[in-house]
Structure 1
Amino acid sequence: MIGPARETDRGMSVALTHVLTIAITTILIAMLLLAGNAMLDSQTERSTETSLETVGERLAGEIDNVDRIAADENDDVTLVADHPRTISNSQYTVELLENCRDDEAPLIHNSRPCLELSSHDVDVTVHVPIAVERELEGNSVTGGSIEITYDSDDGITLAGGDR
Structure 2
Amino acid sequence: MTRDGADLRIDRRGLSVAVTHALTVAISTILVSGLIIGAGTLLESQEQSVGEDQLREVGSDAVTYVNTFDRLNGTGENVTVTVAPDYPERIVGSYRYTIQLYNTSELRGLEIRSEALGRERQYPISTTNARLTNTSTSGADVQISLCKNGEITVAGCGS
| TM-score (ref. length: structure 1) | 0.78
Spell out structure 1 runs of 4+ moving beyond 4 A: none
* Aligned-partner residue type, residue 151 of structure 1: C
8 A Cα contact 1:66 1:79, kept in partner: no
Question: After superposition, where does 1:2-13 map in structure 2 within 5 Å?
Answer: 2-5=6-9, 7=11, 9-13=12-16
For the aligned residues, what is the CA RMSD? 2.7
Matched, 1:124 2:119: yes
Q: Unaligned regions of 5+ residues in structure 1, if any? A: 101-110
What is the deviation of 1:144? Answer: 3.0
User: 1:114 aligns to what SS in structure 2?
Assistant: strand
Partner of 2:140: 144
CA spacing shift, 1:63–1:3, aligned 2, 3 Å: same
Larger radius of gyration: 2
Residues 53-83 of structure 1: CA deviation (Å, up to 9, x unaligned): 1111110010111112122135242221312
Q: Is the 8 A contact 1:141 1:160 kept in 2?
A: no
1: CA distance between counterparts of 2:49 and 2:91? 12
What is the Cα deviation at residue 91 of structure 1?
Answer: 2.4
Counterpart in the other structure of 1:155: 151
- Give aligned pairs, total: 151
TM-score normalised according to structure 2 size: 0.79
Identity of aligned residues (%): 29
| Structure 1 residue 143 displacement after superposition | 1.1
Query: Using the alignment, how far apart are the partners of 1:75 and 1:3 within structure 2?
Result: 108
